[in-house]
Amino acid sequence: MMNRPDGEHNWSNNYPFCGGAFQSPIDFQTQLLRYDPNLPPIQVQNYNLSTKEQLTLSNNGHSVQLYLPSHMYISSLPHRYSAAQLHFHWGSSNLLTGSEHTVNGKRFAGEMHVVHFNSDKYPNISMAVDKHDGLAVLGVFIEIGEFNPAFDKFFKYMNGIKYRDQKIQVPAFNIHALLPARLDEYYRYDGSLTTPPCYPSVLWTVFRRPVTISRKQFLALATALYASYAQESTTVPLHGNYRKPQIADNRVVLVSFKDGK
Catalytic hit among 9, 62, 113, 116? 62
C-alpha 47/C-alpha 40 separation (Å) is 19
Q: 191, 24 in Cβ contact below 8 A?
A: yes
Q: 143, 210 in Cβ contact below 8 A?
A: yes
Rg (CA), the chain: 17
Instruction: Calculate the CA 125 to chain-centre distance.
Output: 15
C-alpha 151/C-alpha 167 separation (Å) is 18
Strands (E), 108-185: 110-118, 135-144, 167-171
Question: How would you label 66-89 residue by residue, b for 16+ Cβ within 10 Å and e otherwise?
Answer: bebeeebbbeebebbbbbbbbbbb
Residues pairing with 116 in the sheet? 83, 136
**132 annotated active-site:** no
Length of the chain: 261
Catalytic sites, residue numbers: 62
